[in-house]
């Protein structure tokens, strides 16, 4: 049996004349919904709480864009950690691919912030203030945009949008900085205030007007499913063979032909994206299981088996066994383990300090002294990666004859901070060959090597002078 062909509607949120079709889903409080609610409230608490949590004295997550520092679970990533961030990003992407290959769009229905906040905060609040889902539909029919309930709803939506925007901002500046800004006038920090105001406006616009169109139009994940899903992927689907032909509850002829679907449209009325799951797998389906809960409730009432709409796969619906082990469920985890293993190895073996060597800015490249020596200036920038203050020393590893003059050495750098110092390297003019001398700069914290890198010193070069061999250290 095949399901009826989908209507000619281009988008679920559009009417045939092109006008906006507002989706007011009727809630279905079934077993799946109760499970999703528990997950949703846990994730909401996690989202609101992460900026306030600390791990080893550092924020659990802080994305400090001005300083180009990312802190995750107490570990700070610097701009030089490009490899680490690349490995982590690819690992997350591969994990999403694997999750989709096994469980379909479980992220969209169970973990996406858009779905969680919309279906478990904003829409429930809307139904309370507008007289239930039927009340909201009636207000739409009569175009009562300035109804008291809706005005109060918009006011509360604005408060929630401000809460979400400020929480979002805390991920980038920290709670302490954000609290200080909130106690001050916006004139004292205009840029963060504008960012917060714009973010609040976007959140308010999203949950007030754009809503499910974020999933249908803006989010690319629905379009990825065409390549990420296969016949064995778990999806929310309508059992065509069992449900068709459709009939009414008292249509004994339809029941005799084996059609359990009574065409009540409960699955359509409860869908948060406005689709009909009976039309087959669709990009707009976020796998929220509301249609499954609505159908199971009615099947139970009619004393028929549940599961007409359920988590299943296209293989099972076609009468074949589902294959868990297949090429993509082998390749994805293998690649994930490779990249995530590389991330962990690189993370545990990265140096305790990030050191940058800089030559003299402006002026002459070197100074020839009257006593036959040559002076080169070197600036050393040290970023302390550890969780405790460290004292660093700089030396020339392969030129014990060189003299270092550095008033600020040894240099103490606080945890997670960086500092820059200048030093002068004095060498005999005789060690330079054709105007240069190659050395190795070593930076230690007194216990282990933190950094070692070759550096070129510049010196005098006489035209026509014979080539001198480098002195052995």
Residue 470 DSSP class: P
Residue 20 DSSP class: B
Q: How many CA atoms lie within 13 A of 366 on its CB side?
A: 22
Within 8 A by CB and 6+ apart from 5, the residues are 279
Instruction: Write out pLDDT tens, residues 460-472.
Output: 876 434 443 333 3
Q: What are phi and psi of 426, to 5 degrees?
A: -105, 120
Instruction: Write out pLDDT tens, residues 355-391.
Output: 888 887 667 788 888 888 899 988 888 888 777 888 8
- Separation CA 81–CA 349 (nearest Å): 12
- Separation CA 209–CA 214 (nearest Å): 10
pTM of this prediction?
0.80
- Separation CA 95–CA 186 (nearest Å): 42
Is residue 123's pLDDT more than 90?
yes
Spell out the domains of the chain, with CATH numbers in brackets.
31-80+112-211 (no CATH), 353-458 (2.60.40.2310)
Record the tokens describing residue 299, joined without a space. 């099947």
The confidence band for 117, taking pLDDT boundaries of 50, 70 and 90, is very high
Within 8 A by CB and 6+ apart from 332, the residues are 94, 97, 98, 101
Q: What is the pLDDT of residue 334?
A: 96
85 burial class (0-12, 13-18, 19+ CB within 10 angstroms)?
A: middle
Instruction: Write out pLDDT tens, residues 277-299.
Output: 999 988 889 999 999 999 999 99
CB distance 349 to 44 below 8 Å: no
Within 8 A by CB and 6+ apart from 82, the residues are none
Is residue 446's pLDDT more than 90?
no
Within 8 A by CB and 6+ apart from 22, the residues are 13, 140
Q: What is the pLDDT of residue 257?
A: 61
Q: What is the pLDDT of residue 74?
A: 78
Instruction: Write out pLDDT tens, residues 196-244.
Output: 999 999 999 999 999 999 998 888 887 887 788 889 999 999 999 999 8
443-472 burial code (b ≥16 CB/10 A, e <16): bbbeeeebbeeeeebbbeeeeeeeeeeeee
What distances in angstroms separate CA 364 from CA 67, 144, 271, 428, 459, one per listed residue?
31, 77, 73, 18, 11
Residue 28 DSSP class: -
Q: What is the pLDDT of residue 256?
A: 59
| Residue 438: alpha-carbon gap to chain centroid | 45
Record the tokens describing residue 105, joined without a space. 């769009």
Record the tokens describing residue 25, joined without a space. 């889903």
As a whole number, the mean pLDDT across the chain is: 86
Q: What is the pLDDT of residue 438?
A: 87
- Separation CA 417–CA 428 (nearest Å): 36
The region, left, alpha or beta by phi > 0 then psi within -120 to 50, assigned to residue 435 is: left
Q: What is the pLDDT of residue 167?
A: 95
């Amino acid at each position: 049996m095949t399901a009826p062909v989908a209507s000619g509607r281009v988008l679920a949120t559009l009417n045939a004349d092109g006008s906006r079709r507002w989706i007011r889903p009727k809630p279905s409080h079934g077993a799946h919904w109760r499970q999703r609610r528990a997950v949703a409230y846990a994730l909401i608490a996690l989202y609101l709480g992460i900026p306030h949590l600390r791990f080893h004295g550092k924020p659990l997550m802080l994305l400090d864009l001005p300083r180009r520092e990312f802190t995750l679970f107490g570990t700070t990533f610097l701009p030089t950690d490009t490899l680490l961030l690349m490995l982590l990003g690819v690992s997350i992407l591969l994990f999403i691919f694997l999750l989709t290959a096994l469980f379909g769009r479980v992220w969209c229905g169970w973990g996406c912030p858009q779905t969680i906040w919309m279906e478990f905060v904003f829409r429930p609040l809307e139904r309370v203030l507008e007289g239930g889902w039927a009340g909201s539909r009636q207000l739409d029919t009569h175009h009562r945009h300035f109804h008291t309930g809706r005005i109060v709803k918009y006011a509360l939506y604005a408060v929630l949008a401000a809460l979400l925007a400020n929480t979002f901002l805390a991920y980038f500046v920290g709670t302490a900085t954000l609290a200080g800004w909130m106690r001050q006038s916006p004139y004292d920090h205009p840029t963060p205030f504008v960012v917060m105001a714009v973010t609040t406006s976007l959140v308010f616009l999203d949950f007030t007007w754009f809503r499910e169109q974020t999933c249908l139009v803006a989010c690319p994940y629905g379009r990825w499913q065409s390549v990420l899903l296969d016949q064995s992927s778990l999806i929310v689907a309508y059992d065509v063979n069992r449900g068709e032909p459709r009939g009414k509850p008292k249509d004994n002829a339809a029941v005799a032909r084996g059609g359990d679907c009574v065409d009540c449209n409960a699955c359509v009325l409860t869908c948060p994206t406005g689709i009909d799951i009976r039309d087959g797998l669709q990009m707009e389906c976020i796998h929220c299981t509301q249609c499954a809960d609505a159908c199971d409730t009615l099947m139970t009432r009619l004393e028929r088996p549940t599961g007409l709409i359920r988590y299943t796969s296209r293989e099972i619906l076609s009468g074949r066994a589902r294959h868990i082990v297949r090429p993509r469920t082998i390749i994805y985890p293998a690649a994930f383990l490779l990249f995530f293993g590389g991330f962990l190895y690189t993370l545990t073996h990265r140096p305790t300090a990030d050191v940058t060597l800089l030559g003299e800015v402006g002026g002459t490249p070197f100074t020839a002294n009257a006593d036959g020596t040559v002076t080169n200036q070197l600036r050393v920038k040290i970023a302390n990666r550890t969780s405790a203050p460290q004292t660093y020393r700089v030396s020339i590893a392969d030129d014990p004859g060189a003299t270092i003059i550095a008033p600020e050495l040894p240099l103490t750098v606080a945890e997670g901070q960086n500092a820059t110092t200048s030093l002068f390297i004095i060498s005999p003019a005789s060690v330079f060959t054709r105007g240069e001398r190659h050395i190795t700069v070593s930076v230690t914290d007194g216990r282990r090597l933190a950094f070692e890198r070759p550096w070129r010193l510049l010196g005098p070069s006489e035209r026509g002078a014979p080539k001198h061999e480098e002195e052995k250290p």
